[in-house]
Amino acid sequence: MSATVLITGAGIGIGRATAKAFAKAGYKAIVTDILEKEGRAVAAEIADAGGTAEFHKLDVRSTTDADALVAAVEQKHGGIDVIVANAGIAHKTPLAALTDDKWDHTLDIDLKGIFRVVRPALAGMRRRRKGAIVCLSSIMGVAYGWDEHVHYSSAKAGVVGLVRGLAVELAKDGVRVNGVAPGYIRTAQLLSEEHSLGPVGAEKAGEFIPMGRIGEPEEIADVILFLASNAARYMTGQVVVVDGGLLVGRY
């Protein structure tokens, strides 16, 4: 029986690339997203390429929906082997406009949304004494502050703490928890003029990245696949930066 991976935010960007990478590696990909059209398209792409995938609509702000989805997947497939908690938003908001609601909205998705999906799967992983969880942070959560994104940086820094706490508590049960902190990656989020660098800014970023370019979603997906695999069997509690040398190259 092939292993099962559940991926949040899998309709676009890094989540989409990750779903395709896991499917190519032989996993059954449970594609979830609040974006129904995009999520279904990813599941169809995987099936067309000879892989196994199914789409489930999921809003990670809903504990009820997350609990129900995990239960349904476990019942159908006998368990979840890997969770890739990727769903997230980044909305540019200056401090003067950063209301409680805006703050809560970002943390509810980018931080609490991870825990909502992981929590109901833990009993099964512990019982089977195996499982791998990979959470998406950001260089804006591990090293940089981000102008007009205080709530985003705070949430992504929180992911680092979540990874560490979960890793320590679950290690004795055979469950590993790691994270990835992407740098500048060619996604819809990065290319948004309203909320991030935009296309021109993204290309300019490549000029100060040591490798000379921004990254591609597939380059993050491959690291996520590694962290979930047996090749990383002695790794837990780590957040791996994947940024083309950006952090070490800025003096």
Determine, yes or no, domain membership for 192: no
**pLDDT at residue number 109:** 98
Domain that holds residue 37: 4-182+216-244
Could you list the pLDDT tens digit for every one of the 251 residues in the chain? 689 999 999 999 999 999 999 999 999 999 999 999 999 999 999 999 999 999 999 999 999 999 999 999 999 999 999 999 999 999 999 999 999 999 999 999 999 999 999 999 999 999 999 999 999 999 999 999 989 999 999 999 999 999 999 999 999 999 999 999 999 998 777 666 665 667 777 778 888 899 999 999 999 999 999 999 999 999 999 999 999 999 999 76
Determine, yes or no, domain membership for 203: no
Determine, yes or no, domain membership for 211: no
Q: Which of these, 5, 7, 17, 4, lies nearest to 221 by C-alpha position?
A: 17
Determine, yes or no, domain membership for 201: no
Question: Does residue 53 contact residue 28 with C-beta atoms inside 8 Å?
Answer: yes
Determine, yes or no, domain membership for 71: yes
Determine, yes or no, domain membership for 93: yes
The token pair that represents 8 in the structure block: 């949040």
Residue 77 sits at φ, ψ, to 5 deg, of -110, 0
Domain at 12, CATH number: 3.40.50.720
**pLDDT at residue number 204:** 81
Determine, yes or no, domain membership for 196: no
Catalytically active residues are 152
Determine, yes or no, domain membership for 105: yes
**pLDDT at residue number 60:** 98
pTM value > 0.85: yes
Burial 115-139, CB ≥16 within 10 A → b, else e: bbbbebbbebbeeeebbbbbbbbbb
Domains held by the chain: number: 1
